[in-house]
Amino acid sequence: MAYAINDGVRLHWQESGSGTPLLLIMGHCYSARMWYPLIDRLAAHHRVICFDNRGTGGSDTTWRVTVQQLARDALAVMDAAGIDSAHVHGVSMGGVIALELAMQQPQRVRTLILGCTGILSAEKRRMPAAVRALYYLPRPLLRWLLSSRGGYGSRATTEAAARDRAVLLSDTSTKRGLAAQAAALARYCTSAQAVAALRMPALVLHGDEDRTVALDAGVELARTLHDSRLHIVNGAAHNYLVAAVDEVVPLMLSFIAERDAD
């Protein structure tokens, strides 16, 4: 198993494929295992690197973390992989981390691919502390809640949703780690001005049935970024990869290929 280190925290990472580097940053609660719908398809064309955010999978847990530290975790993984720059794809919380990474070290981000996420500016609603307390429920109940939330959208097949729930139920994380992630999101603030200052090309993906992060957030993000395109995934909810992986992966590959050809 490969590990990167950031401020003494071990971060489990893995890679597959070859070609232009593509870094994947997973969302809140889940390890890199949840990239299973698309990782093999991407690795057929790129060197794909993914890692477990702290508190999940094989990475360490800390009592407290910030989004800024989570972005530095991603940079530490890039350093461990020997990558100067990469295309960066983040979903949900992973999209927030990807934006922060790009603001910290823009020269290391070739493009941004941002899914089911938005700009966490000061006026945006956050998860209340009472809801964050749910992360301390008994593990079987917590896992059931995590596997039931969010939804897949009307387009997702019964078989695809059932497979995803099975993977979710077998995924590993710690209560402290998930609570720390949630608190990091609750505390984090950026601004539309900071996002607009980013100059790398961006692709924004968002399901039109997303009830976790509303479609309006994706539309705002695409309008704010300097050089972006928005693709709305019809019939998909927050987990659009389960509903529409056959649609999304070719879009991602085409977008990256265009930029690599520049």
Q: Which domain holds residue 14?
A: 2-261
Number of structural domains (the chain) is 1
Task: Provide, rounded to the nearest whole percent, the portion of the chain with pLDDT above 70.
Answer: 90
Mind listing the pLDDT tens digit for each residue in 25-67? 999 989 999 999 999 999 999 999 999 999 999 999 999 999 9
Q: Can you give the pLDDT at residue 1?
A: 75
Mind listing the pLDDT tens digit for each residue in 199-222? 999 999 999 999 889 999 999 999
pTM value? 0.93
* CB atoms inside a 10 Å sphere around CB 69: 18
Task: Provide, rounded to the nearest whole percent, the portion of the chain with pLDDT above 90.
Answer: 82
Q: Can you give the pLDDT at residue 149?
A: 47
**Considering the chain, what is the average pLDDT of its residues?**
92
Q: Can you give the pLDDT at residue 147?
A: 52
Mind listing the pLDDT tens digit for each residue in 185-199? 999 999 999 999 999
Mind listing the pLDDT tens digit for each residue in 85-121? 999 999 999 999 999 999 999 999 999 999 999 999 9
CATH number reported for the structural domain that contains residue 222 in this entry: 3.40.50.1820
